[in-house]
Amino acid sequence: MTQSRTHNCGVLRIENVGEKVKIVGWMENVREVGANLAFVVLRDFYGTTQVVIETEEMMNIVKSLNKESTISVEGTVRERASKNPKQPTGDIEVVPEKIEVLGRCRYNELPFEINRSREADETLRLKYRYLDLRNPEVKKNIVLRCNVVAALRQAMMEHDFLEITTPILTASSPEGARDYLVPARKHPGKFYALPQAPQQFKQLLMTSGFDRYFQIAPCFRDEDARGDRSPGEFYQLDMEMAFATQEDVFAVLEDVLPPIFAKYGTYDIASKPPFKRIPYLESMEKYGSDKPDLRIDLTATDVTELLSDCGFGPFEGNVIKAIPISNCTLTRKQIEKLLTDAEVQSGLKSYWFKVDDAGAIAGGVAKFMQEKKEELTEKLDLAANTLVVLTTGKKEEAQKAAGVVIKTFGPAVPGHMDKERYEFCWIVDFPMYEIGEESGELEFCHNPFSMPKGGMETLLKAERGEIDPLTITADQYDLVCNGVELSSGAVRNHDPEIMIKSFEMVRLGEEDVKKKFPAMYNAFCYGAPPHAGIAPGVDRMVMLLAGEDSIREIIPFPMNKNAQDVMMGAPGTVMQQQLDELHIAVVGLDE
């Protein structure tokens, strides 16, 4: 062992009895049981070891210290009289001959008990993150993250990918979220931007003749936090392949991810390739989401034609989706509670009825269903004790509400969710275009760099009015695991003529493309290979593997929900001299 110790606090066993050792760590706890008898728990990165105090000299040293002080203990290992089978080092203890104080904790009271820090207020945990991380339960997620990243890196290199780092200071470009801007001191009035993703750089690498690229890439987006999204920065397994198709990308990830999930995950079962492929429109119709959780066996069925004239007001003129839930023994109160939870999430009210033991329709909106009983039974394959939840509204609203109902009721009704596994799927055939909510005009639906299916021919047909532009799909795909979107990817639009035509569809011409993406456009004009890529989120991946609900649990130093680092005090003010050097004036702030 190095660092002035012979052993760490997690390694000593019964075979070490009689050895002279030196261990170091934090004084986790002291239990005094007599005038000169006490038991000290010493903790380091690797574990804990019991130190037994039996002399006045040693007791005086220990009593002068607060918990969480760091000490060095030199002594002899002996067998414990009262063993602790729950502790790896529970068969032994160390009797000290010398205790040296290495770092004194100067506070009598800690912000929280270290081993119970996860129960503390989140603001306190983030402010004292260095104490929070001393908790082995918190620390293990960071260790897991390290192991997963190492495994990803090794797997990618075994697939002949080169790890290449791309710039952090770059140009601002329209990629869907707000940029973090960095003022350029030598160029007054101009700004760098932190990359939202290495998108353009990795495509430029393909045009440069590199065949397979990857990196564990930091990405920066000024967007609000969610349970599965950290504000500010995140990391992704960024990859790109030249002369590649969608199938090539799928083959790599279907080979790389399942073994890592099976090895490091909370659950040891992961989908085997090939992953299920679901077209976007089918996913929305069937699961009410483009992020379906395939561990849940519930699906939605369109019953608009059947129920639009049933006499129930909210159904009239709207799309109606039905989610049948078999073998449901929930009480009316439980059903109403889950429906309320779903309404809070979707913002839309849902309705219900149930087929009872005798096969009769009862509860909720049952009175409006009686005349449709036979048709409903045939269409939904209804049996006794089947709950049917109905959502309604405009098509997108009814679908969204159905998706929330599925994810709310699936875990709540026994037999409808096989939780302890990782289920992957690909969502494919995304729409290339959509009608913008604010503009009311045609806009890119997702990634403007995606290749439209059918290439130039499809775009020309839309331009001539032979097909609706909204029916154009893109060679774009999402990877979803357990209802969490891990990444988006696409076969890239590498042809300048097709790129210009695709942008013309949204009222942007050749000069706009050249202005917004000058390097990429010019590079493509020098002969670009067909290429495709994807970028699974490392943070989300580790969150799933750790079985955590919040992404902040697997990030060493996360920001809070308001994009603040309360530990470091960021964002913060800077000196006027710094602002002057950057030619920046802060205006419009309330005093």
d(CA 154, CA 161): 10
Residue 286: strand, helix, or coil: helix
CATH 3.30.1360.30 residue window(s) in the chain = 296-409
The pLDDT value given to residue 224: 85
CATH 3.30.930.10 residue window(s) in the chain = 137-187+208-266+534-578
pLDDT tens string 215-227: 999 999 998 877 7
d(CA 5, CA 362): 72
In sequence order, what E strands does 256-364 have?
Answer: 276-279, 301-302, 319-325, 350-355, 361-362
Residues of the chain with pLDDT under 70: 1-3, 174-176, 590-591
CATH fold of 14-103 reads OB fold (Dihydrolipoamide Acetyltransferase, E2P) (2.40.50)
The pLDDT value given to residue 355: 95
Here the tokens at position 381 are 């394959």
Threshold 0.75, pTM exceeds: yes
d(CA 176, CA 207): 24
CATH fold of 296-409 reads Gyrase A; domain 2 (3.30.1360)
The pLDDT value given to residue 69: 98
pLDDT tens string 519-529: 999 999 999 99
The pLDDT value given to residue 226: 76
Per the rule left: phi > 0, alpha: psi between -120 and 50, beta: everything else, 298 is beta
Task: For residue 562, give the nearest of 235, 232, 234, 233 by alpha carbon.
Answer: 232
Q: Which residues of 71-100 are buried (b: 16+ CB within 10 A; e: fewer)?
A: bbbbbebeebeeeeeebbbbbbbbebeebe
**E strand or H helix that includes residue 397:** helix 395-409
CATH 2.40.50.140 residue window(s) in the chain = 14-103
The pLDDT value given to residue 590: 67
- Is 137-187+208-266+534-578 a domain of CATH 3.30.930.10? yes
Residue 131 CA to its chain's centroid (Å): 24
